[in-house]
Chains A and B, each alone.
Chain A
Amino acid sequence: MNRFDYVRAGSIAEAIAAASEPGAAYLAAGTNLLDLMKGGLTHPTRLVDVTRLPGLDRIERLPDGGVRVGALVRNADLAHDADFARAYPSVAEALLSGASAQLRNAATTAGNLLQRTRCPYFYDPASACNKREPGAGCEALGGETRGHAILGWSEHCIATHPSDFCVPLVALDAVVEIEGRAGRREVPLEAFHRLPGDTPERESVLEPGELVTAVRLPGEAAGFAAHSRYAKVRERTSYAFALVSVAAALRLDGGRIGEARIALGGVALKPWRAREAETALVGAAPDAAAFRRAADAALAGARPSGDNAFKIELARRLIVRALTLATAGTPERMPALPASVFAPASGDPLHA
């Protein structure tokens, strides 16, 4: 790990001023940042510790029935907040399907949004990577690409965004609150992360020094609470990133779908909202044929970036699965294996 200056910020203004210098990075829990620094993948010359900033660790109800989640709210605290989990159960399920209990106790709301890809070529300093070194090339192309992107990728980068949390958030129209030198602004989460294009080193719309202060969910997103699920296919049942994941939320209206929300994880360099699939479902009966039509619409633009054509069909099937689960209804209690596709419907343990 390189040497750096450590600055503990006492106010948002102080933090922004300290982090606007070239080479500076914000430190919250550091669960991803320290991992990257230990691997020699990022080399900040100054860490601005924001963990003491007042007021950013709160979950606040809003007048419209929505909720504002402070940037420093820990993943575990949000997932286990009973009111939050009741209103936004797919978000709680996604949170609990990610990482380990230790990491969820530390990792923050804003940190989850800003975590870096787990592309193995990004993580290997001996491999060329346009994210680490713009213009160096992408050694993932033509390499081991089983887990890479199938949507929105470019010849400069085929990595995926690893977040579970962001997938239902983007489906439910979450908004990111940002403070910077020029003041406060808001960005829909759907527009927060950037697709790689020819500048894969630019991963979000944040400008130097800008600080995420909160993530907001609108009140109307709680209207999906009765039919919301998150489903995640991964290489092992727990403590693994998604190969493909799906957040599905439905508002049922007299046996028909009144409104649908669908987003995918593990398929692109951003959480992927599938609006065509949502439109395809409106007015339809919630059955397998309608779900398959929606899945086809969601993946219409997908193409493999290597040996990962299977992810396209996997994503289609997982959309059908997540919509089927959502139609059956949000479970009373969080499943023992959150988001697992192996969880039995009966509630019996998977393993004896």
Chain B
Amino acid sequence: MTIPLSLTINGTRREIALDDPRVTLLDLLRERLHLTGSKKGCDRGQCGACTVLVDGRRINACLQLAASLDGAEVLTIEGLAEGDALHPVQAAFVEHDGFQCGFCTPGQIMSAVGLIREAQAGDDPERIREAMSGNLCRCGAYLGITEAVRDAQSRMNQGNAA
């Protein structure tokens, strides 16, 4: 039995005939749509490397069955930049050394984009760290990550006010 799915992924509508209900959103993105920016770390919702936005909210793509997402809008790391122009969060991660090996970075960046949309943390580093605790970085780039999130948020808020 195939499950018909209609998903908007990074702004493009995709019609998908899913032949197996066990496919998670993460496996759909990586194995079938070849969007390998979202990473498979733990595959159990513990590390955050697979973080994407679904209908504007950050979630763990590894714990979401693709079959239950019919009609959803998905934003992945591949959909963030506009051409060669990096998204402000991407630029801030580069500027503040928010990574070392880079494996967790797509998840960190998507989580930061979600955090800024949620607008709960403000500029408080403690609240930012707490709100980013679902993303592990084994290289320990947390200082740079926190600064990148603060900086990107401040630039984006100024942009909105302008």
Count CB-based A-B contacts (< 8 Å). Answer: 104
In the complex, whether B106 has a CB less than 8 A from a CB of chain A is: no
Whether A30 touches B65, Cβ cut-off 8 Å, given contacts A102-B51, A238-B130, A239-B134, is yes
Q: Which residues of A contact B76 (CB under 8 A)?
A: none
Interface string of B24-61 (1 = CB under 8 A from A): 10000000000000000001110010010000011110
Closest to A104 in B: B134
Closest to A239 in B: B133
Q: How many residues of A contact B (CB 8 A)?
A: 35
Q: Which residues of A contact B48 (CB under 8 A)?
A: 100, 102
Closest to B47 in A: A100
Which bucket holds chain B's interface residue count?
A: 35 or more
Min CB distance B91 to A, Å, is 22
Q: Are A27 and B133 neighbours in the complex by a CB distance under 8 Å?
A: no
In the complex, whether A336 has a CB less than 8 A from a CB of chain B is: yes
Q: Are B45 and A351 neighbours in the complex by a CB distance under 8 Å?
A: no
Interface string of A98-112 (1 = CB under 8 A from B): 011111011000000
Q: Which residues of B contact A30 (CB under 8 A)?
A: 63-65, 68
Q: Are B131 and A101 neighbours in the complex by a CB distance under 8 Å?
A: yes
Min CB distance B70 to A, Å, is 8
Whether A103 touches B111, Cβ cut-off 8 Å, given contacts A6-B67, A47-B21, is no
Min CB distance B43 to A, Å, is 7
Interface string of B105-128 (1 = CB under 8 A from A): 000000100110010100011110
Whether A31 touches B60, Cβ cut-off 8 Å, given contacts A38-B43, A102-B111, A349-B124, is yes
Q: Which residues of B contact A4 (CB under 8 A)?
A: 21-22
**Complex: how many Å from CA A65 to CA B115?**
32
In the complex, whether A64 has a CB less than 8 A from a CB of chain B is: no
**Complex: how many Å from CA A1 to CA B22?**
7
Interface residues, chain B, with chain A CB atoms under 8 Å away? 1, 3, 20-22, 24, 43-45, 48, 51, 57-60, 62-65, 67-68, 70, 111, 114-115, 118, 120, 124-127, 129-135
In the complex, whether A191 has a CB less than 8 A from a CB of chain B is: no
Q: Are A101 and B60 neighbours in the complex by a CB distance under 8 Å?
A: no
Q: Are A106 and B22 neighbours in the complex by a CB distance under 8 Å?
A: no
**Complex: how many Å from CA A337 to CA B111?**
18
Out of B3, B44, B129, B134, which one reaches A6, CB within 8 Å?
B3
Q: Which of A1-56 contact B (CB under 8 A)?
A: 1, 3-6, 8, 27, 29-31, 34-35, 38-39, 47, 49, 51
In the complex, whether A182 has a CB less than 8 A from a CB of chain B is: no
